[in-house]
Structure 1
Amino acid sequence: MERFEINGHEVVDGDVRPTGNGAHVYVPRRWLGADVKIVRVSEPDSDSDE
């Protein structure tokens, strides 16, 4: 696993959920319009579609 240093204001710990042909992570509505970065911290489930 690599190590990343990111300066920010808040962290949300969540799960990626399937949606249509992709996936999403929910964040608070107050983040609407903000720049965000998503960092994967575990390997995807082997039974997930890519």
Structure 2
Amino acid sequence: MDRHKLEDHEVIEGEVKPTGNGAHVLVPKRWRGADVKIV
């Protein structure tokens, strides 16, 4: 298993919603254009 070091600034908890052949996770609008990682 790979290990990754994350330098996170904020953690949110939410529900993954189905969309077409994939899924979406809703995040705050202020995160627009940011690089995010979903774990």
Count, aligned residues: 38
Per-residue CA deviations over 1:19-47 (Å, capped at 9, x if unaligned) read 111101000010000010000xxxxxxxx
So what's the TM-score if we normalise by structure 1? 0.64
Largest Rg, 1 or 2: 1
Backbone CA RMSD of aligned residues: 1.7
5+ residue gaps, structure 2: none
Question: Taking every aligned residue pair, what percent have the same amino acid on both sides?
Answer: 68
So what's the TM-score if we normalise by structure 2? 0.78
Whose RCO is larger (CA < 8 A, sep 6+)? 2
Runs of 4+ in 1 over 2 A off after TM superposition: none
